[in-house]
Structure 1
Amino acid sequence: MQRTAGHLADGREIVWFDVDGSPEREAAADRRDLARTIASSQMRHDPLTGEWIAMASHRQTRTFMPPADECPLCPSRDGRQSEIPSTEYQAVAFENRFPSFATHVEGIESADDGIFSVRPAVGRCEVVCFSSDHDGSFAGLTPAQARLVVDVWADRTAALSHTPGVEQVFPFENRGAEIGVTLQHPHGQIYGYPFVPPRARTELDRARAHREATGRNLFGDIVEQELADGSRVVVDSEHWVAFVPYAARWPMEVHFFPKVQVPDLPSLGEAERDDFVRVYLDVLGRFDRLYSTPMPYIAGWQQSPVNTDRDLAWLHLELFSVRRGEGRLKYLAGSESAMGAFVGDVLPEQQAQRLREV
């Protein structure tokens, strides 16, 4: 993989990524007249749950569903300047113009009165564009294009892991208007959190308790159990297994685990990355064939925290959709939203069977 680093007009970092053997690229100049982005994000600690809640009011002005000819993630062409100051690209990552967490936060001081606590939301948020094709999707990428994106995720995970204040690196994709995306161009994001988020913390705490009780790794035991049972397995390959989790929350949900424990994306070998691409594109294709329109989804990587639990964590991807039927969505209503108690719409074994059949 070839990487070319540059800066946008307001000082934000941008990196172009090209497959090996591509013509050498030079960082293109961003000629827009952009004021420096001022982030005023803060984190407030919820004394009832112990969770940190980010407040990023400056994001209210972010771009929302522009027409295709005004897409900020398309290449800069025909006199129109976008966020990518080049006429073409294969994959690109850049600092978000409207970040929830930023390396430089102004106007927020840390304070703690014993009940209420506030801190600057110091971290990093990046956008990753999977392709220059505005009408494309991850599912429509070639294996070579998808493999490049995997390498980008690994590269940015390594870079953000060395960013001061970052405790957890989270690459993810939101796809579809039903999910709430504000830009239709095929892209994802990477958050560098200044804390370990609740989902990751809960999984690691459960894994720690399991190890103390049994001496074994919980993630590894789950993989072994799913492979032995088989009823929820969607794809079983040389290096990866994709299965509907035993206690799936969502109408469609698939978890992807490497069969050998690694803590994060940079730790994946070449063969493991190639095999993941085959499995992931397979499952995304199955998602899109279930209904008459492409499946909206969220896909998020669970990796080891930066500074803790590397011996405990087991890299995996969690993919899920809120679509529960043709033209029907699952809404997080009273039980889910108010109490965090999920009620599943479809048995996990039925989910897996449907995905295997398509």
Structure 2
Amino acid sequence: MTQFEYTHRRKNPLSGDWVLVSPHRNNRPWLGATEQTNSVQLPSYQHDCPLCPSNERANDTTNPDYQDTFVFVNDFGALTHELAQATEITDELFDYQAATGECRVVCYSPDHSKTMPELSVNELTKVVTTWRENYLKLAKTYANIHIFENKGEIMGCSQPHPHGQIWAHQHASSEIANEDTNQLSYFKRNESSLLGDYLSKELANNTRIICQNEHWVALVPFWAAWPFETMILAKDDIRQFGQIDNQQAKSLAALLKELTTRYDNVFNCSFPYSMGWHSAPTTLEDDSHWRLHAHFYPPLLRSATVKKHMVGYEMLAESQRDLSAETAADILKKASTVHFKQIKTA
């Protein structure tokens, strides 16, 4: 039996959570629900899309005729600047706190039909520098800035126009708080960063590495919970997104294009995912224990129509996966770096 091809548990050192891995279950017959795929070719411009250039949004604001990226404050943001007058509650079983912040929408391109892997490296470099510019502006006011994207209807994305979001707030979100605690604990024990050490071992092993370049690595983490979950890690000692320089930005754009192209080519579809960057909180006196990284959580399991559902045991006990991280990495490594749409039209 090859290494790890038996039922076992793996620990996520960032969150402290465990995942149950059951590789033998991947061979079971599937009679469950399937998702519909959308193979319709979108137009470059959609007259009723609120994110397309020169179109009107829900608040009667008209978008400019933008030529690359376009950022605006979300018309229906989950966070606002207004601080509510809250009644004080001292009962520890009903603890709460008022939350303020800002939510921005980042349109990646004026072209309604393109997704991240279909953008050029230059276009994606503009996306990365737009993320950086907004991060730096928001970091003057807020401690935590979340840059993320939900791609595809499966992930609840209501608009196919290529875009992501940035949410900024002062409070430490649960994911960031857990990662900060565990990275700091590791740093105090080892006098080195958790993700820096982890990356060195993954590079030496090379089993779960998908692609890499001078500044970035994309890999399937040892503790992955989602079938084709990946991480992007900075090779350099970068702790916050605002620290990325121009060379690192272009290098990141190239890696994003390659990784998302490989995703699309696994099942020859527009591969859905939720993706987000984790940066050190800006208010830390010392963030030496941090390393900038991104998480990709795609839901597809066996095909473009079969989704992994986090239910039952996953909701009530702990995460469970059938496809081992090593098998997922092998599938992604074998996927072409030429987008399947380009192959079809060649």
Equivalent of 1:150, from 122, 125, 128?
128
Shift of 1:196: 1.4
Shift of 1:231: 0.3
5 Å-filtered alignment, 1:1-358, equals: 68-76=46-54, 83-105=61-83, 107-109=84-86, 111-115=88-92, 116-163=94-141, 166-308=142-284, 309-326=286-303, 327-339=305-317, 341-358=318-335
Shift of 1:353: 0.7
* Matched residue type, 1:272: Q
Shift of 1:72: 0.8
Structure 1: distance between partners of 2:277 and 2:67? 24
Any runs of at least 4 consecutive aligned residues in structure 1 with deviations exceeding 4 A, and if so which?
80-84
Residues 1:291 and 1:218: Cα distance change in structure 2 (over 3 Å): same
Structure 2: distance between partners of 1:81 and 1:141? 29
Name the structure 2 match of 1:44.
none
Normalised by the length of structure 1, the TM-score is 0.76
Shift of 1:83: 4.9
Q: Percent identity?
A: 25
Residues 1:332 and 1:96: Cα distance change in structure 2 (over 3 Å): same
What is the aligned length? 288
8 A contact 1:171–1:188 mirrored in 2: yes
Q: Which stretch of the first structure deviates more once superposed, 173-182 or 270-279?
A: 270-279
* Matched residue type, 1:97: D
Q: Which stretch of the first structure deviates more once superposed, 330-339 or 168-177?
A: 330-339
* Matched residue type, 1:354: I
- Secondary structure of the structure 2 residue equivalent to 1:329: coil
Structure 2: distance between partners of 1:234 and 1:152? 26
* Matched residue type, 1:307: T
In proportion to residue count, which structure has more strand? 1
Shift of 1:84: 4.7
Residues 1:263 and 1:74: Cα distance change in structure 2 (over 3 Å): same
Shift of 1:236: 2.4
Structure 2: distance between partners of 1:307 and 1:94? 25
Name the structure 2 match of 1:7.
none
Name the structure 1 match of 2:37.
none
Residues 1:310 and 1:214: Cα distance change in structure 2 (over 3 Å): closer
- Secondary structure of the structure 2 residue equivalent to 1:317: strand
Once the two structures are superposed, what CA deviation does each residue of 1:230-268 show, in whole Å capped at 9, x if it has no partner? 000011211111110001111111111111111112211
8 A contact 1:287–1:355 mirrored in 2: yes
Higher relative contact order (CA 8 A, sep 6+): 2
8 A contact 1:167–1:195 mirrored in 2: yes
8 A contact 2:51–2:63 mirrored in 1: no
- Secondary structure of the structure 1 residue equivalent to 2:125: helix
Shift of 1:81: 9.4
Normalised by the length of structure 2, the TM-score is 0.79
* Matched residue type, 1:223: L
8 A contact 2:99–2:171 mirrored in 1: no
* Matched residue type, 1:88: Y
Name the structure 1 match of 2:344.
none
Structure 2: distance between partners of 1:144 and 1:82? 32
Unaligned runs of 5+ in 1: 1-66
Name the structure 2 match of 1:61.
none
* Matched residue type, 2:131: W
Q: Which stretch of the first structure deviates more once superposed, 251-260 or 83-92?
A: 83-92
Unaligned runs of 5+ in 2: 1-44, 336-346
Q: Which stretch of the first structure deviates more once superposed, 262-271 or 281-290?
A: 262-271
Structure 1: distance between partners of 2:261 and 2:133? 26
* Matched residue type, 2:191: G
8 A contact 1:71–1:82 mirrored in 2: no
Shift of 1:77: 5.2
Structure 2: distance between partners of 1:91 and 1:305? 26
Structure 2: distance between partners of 1:189 and 1:255? 19
- Secondary structure of the structure 2 residue equivalent to 1:120: coil
Cα RMSD (Å): 2.1
8 A contact 2:79–2:101 mirrored in 1: yes
Structure 2: distance between partners of 1:186 and 1:289? 18
- Secondary structure of the structure 2 residue equivalent to 1:119: coil
Residues 1:221 and 1:331: Cα distance change in structure 2 (over 3 Å): same
